[in-house]
Amino acid sequence: MEIKLYHKHYDEKHLEKVIENMKKLGAPVIRGQFDSNEIFNAFEGCHRIRAAKELNIEPILVEVENDEDFEKLCAEHNESSGDYLSREDFEESVGDYYKAEFIEF
């Protein structure tokens, strides 16, 4: 399984914390969509995916399939980060392969 991360940047200290939490909590749930090449485009969880790879734990992939789920995902992101992210932002990032990092499980 191949996962395309939403972005390349991450924080090493935060990654260490996520790894420690994942040791206790197990496999992370990651929301995104599969593309025509069967690559999962993760809309969230760049640290959790890296931690799962480090721990050799396969993440649980949940496909965002409808507008309601997409809007919920955007709202959660906006609330937690303080940034505004629209559905168009997510969809645009999915097409930006040159900006992405791919992790294989």
Buried b (16+ CB within 10 A) or exposed e, 36-68: eeebbbbbbbbbbbbbbeeeebebebeebeeee
pLDDT tier at 65, thresholds 50, 70, 90:
confident
Mean pLDDT over 21-28 rounds to 97
**Average pLDDT value over all residues in the chain:** 85
* Rounded Cα gap, residues 24 and 77, in angstroms: 24
Distances 20 to 26, 61, 69 between C-alpha atoms, Å: 10, 21, 29
* Model pLDDT for residues 32-53, shown as the tens digit of each residue: 889 888 999 888 888 999 999 9
* Rounded Cα gap, residues 8 and 24, in angstroms: 26
DSSP secondary structure letter of residue 26 = -
pLDDT tier at 56, thresholds 50, 70, 90:
very high
* Model pLDDT for residues 71-95, shown as the tens digit of each residue: 787 777 667 665 656 667 666 665 5
